[in-house]
Structure formats: structure tokens, C-alpha cells
Structure 1
Amino acid sequence: MTKSLYGLKQASRQWFDKLSTFLISDNYVQSKFDHSLFIKKTSTDFTALLVYVDDIVLTRNSMSEITHIKTLLHHQFQIKDLGELKYFLEFEVARSKKGIHLCQRKYALDILEETGMLGSKPCSTPFLSNTNFLYKTENYLDNPSAYRRLIRKLFYLTNTRSDLCFTVNLLSQFMQEPTKHHYQALQHILRYVKFSPSEGLFFAADSDIQIKGFSDSDWVTCPNTRRSTSGYCTFLGSFLVSWKSKKQSTISRSSTEAKFHALAATVNEI
């Protein structure tokens, strides 16, 4: 009897094992940083293949290898070619001669509709100037699950929205016992998302490949822990490729020490 693989607990693992073995046999190298990424390089060509469950994204500087690997995959697994990448895991991809624009517009609008903020008045900044009210221990939410669910959704939105990174990171530190003040701050973020739902990343076609990094930090702005928050961003040429906002693990004795912690994190990322 032939038993279907679908429905078994080992299904996804067995499928990925079979796919990765097949790709490695065709001289693809599995990334050690991201095991779902496979790369094939020659002296003149470069191919990248990204896998998510049974969806595959292919990119290359030459169409010959893409045609080759698609033919092999079709014969081995009977795949369906969906054409140029336009939508993948809530990411929208728009191409032009100038470059590629990556955003999560539909995902952002879905969040606004789900929270009833689609008709709200937009605002032009993602962060409130005064954050002292975030540390008040009063007016706790009766049901914090909605707050936590919204934080998780906004974290996924920061994959293309670096402008939300600091604020979402700050509000995520209150997920254990959120108050009405924290939820109002979340609503402020949603009003900012309403202001520019199509905001995202642009990868220029004619940019150089010089790596640049920028870092900064505040100093003991958290009254509870007295720890500082680091922030950095790195660019490949003119486009942004990575960014992070995170509370430092130790207490800095001066603003200079806090900035050195942020700089060390930036250098490590580069």
C-alpha cells in the first residue's frame, strides 16, 4: 500500500530533505546562515534559490540556469511555474527599469481593517514624543491577547518597514502586562501605517556594492532597568539591507559606553 506523505508529522522534514538532496546533487550549496537558501556560483553566474514549504523563489543574473533548474525540478517534482515574482509571504514585489520595490501594502491594510483602524486619521510620525506614560502601572488590559497578537503582526511588518522597528521593539517589552496606554501607543503606530501603507524598500538597479553602517543609542532611558537601547542599519550601496533596535544587555555607565555597545553590534552585523 502506498501511503500519502501529507498529514504525517515528518512530512515537511522528509520533503525538505528530498528537495535539498536533489539541489545539492546539482551543485547547489546550502547556506549555513539560512538553511532554506541554496546558492550556485560559477566564475560568471550566480543563482539563488529560496524555499518556503513547497514554494520556491529563484533569482539569477542569467536566464539559462533558471530555465535549467526549473526543467529539472519539473521532471523531479512536477512543479508549476507561476512566472515573475509579484507576491510571496505577504511581500509585494514591483519591478521597473530603475530597480525593485518591496513592500507589504496588503498586509498593512489587512491589519488596519482587522483592528478597525482603516478609517482612522493618519499621522506622520511612528513615535510619540513623550514615553513616560508607558511606564505607568495602571489601567491594565483585561484581555492582553489582542495586544500581543497585534505586536506579532507589526513585528512581521518591520521586515520592510525599518521606520517602525524602534517603536514596535519598545512596546513589545510590555507584552506581559500591557496597559491601555500601551494599546493607545499601538493605535498611534497604526495611524502612521495608514499614512503610508506602501512604504517599503527600494533596491536600485544601478547602485554600487559598498557596505555602509550607521549606529546610535540612547542612554538609560528605561526607568525600570536603566538600560540603553541600541540601533543600527547597514546599507549595500544605496539600499538598506539590515536594521535592528534592541535593548542592551548591560547597564552603560556613560552615553559614550552606550554608543560603543551600539557600534560593536553594527560591526558584528557587517
Structure 2
Amino acid sequence: MSDKDEVPPEDVIYEVADHVATITLNRPHRRNALGWNAYAQLEKGLKDASADNEVRCVVVTGADPAFCSGDDVQEIMAGPKSFSAENRAVTVRHQPTPAAMAALECEKPMIAAVNGAAIGWGMELALYADIRLASEKAKFSEMFIKRGLVCDVGGFYRLPAIVGPAKAAELLYTGDVVDAEEALRIGLVTEVVPHAGLLPAAYELAGRIAANPPLALRFMKQGLARASYGDPHEIGAWAIATIRRLMDTEDHKEGVASFLEKRDPVFTGR
């Protein structure tokens, strides 16, 4: 087979073993940033795991060195199909992000094994999990404010319930980066382990969960969601509509340009 005939690697790898589905973001050359294709594959993997009766627990992780660095800025925000006024035909409709809803509506308990940077939508993905384990190399940031945007449904719907409203406000308003030990201190993760031990720890926990009755697990997850969180559909639709509006502002364009040009942004409120 010639080089040009080689099948490109999957952006998301989906595997099932011992009643545990593993969903691995597989764009290490982009620090697992999500492009359009990766978002679609992630959504499919989450839906497949939810529908598969053999799956009793889901582990989401990233190919080293990162968990997920968020949106692929060059593709999502600056590419030919960018989420902008000029490309309304290819942008997300006024409804929650499909991959986000696939995660929130997954009927199986979900563990995020955060092996490195979980930035922007990468932190959102970690928030959609029921339990977060962190490598000592993990770090987290809801950096949407740095791009002149608001967060997706995870930051509004889950983060305040996990770390408290005031801490959530601090993280969302500043876009500050939180390391693994701080994430443990504020309750964002339940455990920090040596990097090499992260997946073994995640699979050990997943195995303990998967050993329990599948129907009871499903209803236990539903009960926790009802008790802990509100309805994600309304806030998700509002977030997407607001993101679309902010995508047309000068501040957002400056946030993207400064990132690509590796310089400090200058925001003007326009």
C-alpha cells in the first residue's frame, strides 16, 4: 500500500472490554483539540456506549500528552467552516451541542481519566462525566472568556454544582488554569494519581461499577442527575445562541487572532 492509500488514524478510538467502553480522543499532534470530524466521532462513541447492553461503564480519556485542549481553533473558529456569521449554513443550530447532549444523556456511568490539559471544551467534556480522576499532569481551564465567548452547557449546568457557585464564577470569569492538586482541593476531581497509574485506577473503579446490576446503575445515574442538576436543554440552547452572537464580535475575532499570532489580546468591548 502506498503512503497516499493509507487510512488516516481515527480522531476518536472506541473500544469495549469487560463491560467497559473506552473512548479515547486521538489527535495527540493537536493536543486532542476537537475539529468537526472529532466532535462527530465523539458523539457517535457516546451514543454507541449508551445503547450497547454489554457496556456498563464508560471511560473517556485522551492520547498523551493531553486530555483535550478544546476546540481546534484553526478549524472551528478560523477555518473555512468556521462558526461565524459568514457560515450560518454549517454552524450549530440554536440547540445544545450534540456531543455535549450525547454525554449528558449517556445512560451509563462515565469516568473522565484526565491525563493532561483539559482546556475549554476539554474541561466541559470532563464535567460531563460522573467522576473525574486526574493524572498529576492534569490541568483545567474554562478559558472561553479569553476568546470573547461563554462556556458550553457544562460550565453553566455542572460546574456550579461541583465546585460551588462562587468558585465556578471565579473560574468562568478569569479563565484561570487549575492544576491537579487544586482541582482535588476544590472537588473538581475525586483523586490524583501518578500519570502511569491513571488508566489502571480508572479501570479498577470502572470494574467495581460494572460489577453491579445494569438496570439499577442506570436508574441510580438518573436519580443523581435529577437531584443534582437542572434541565440542560434550556441552558444549552441559550449558550449556543449566545456563542453564535459572540462569534460575530470584534473581541472574539481578536481573541482568535491573538491566539494564532501568539500575542496578548487587546479587547475593546465591541
Where on the TM-score scale, by shorter chain, does this alignment land: which range?
under 0.3
- TM-score (norm: length of structure 1): 0.23
Structure number having the greater strand percentage: 1
TM-score with structure 2 setting the length: 0.23
Q: Which has the higher contact order (CA 8 A, sep 6+)?
A: 2
**Structure possessing the higher radius of gyration over alpha carbons:** 1
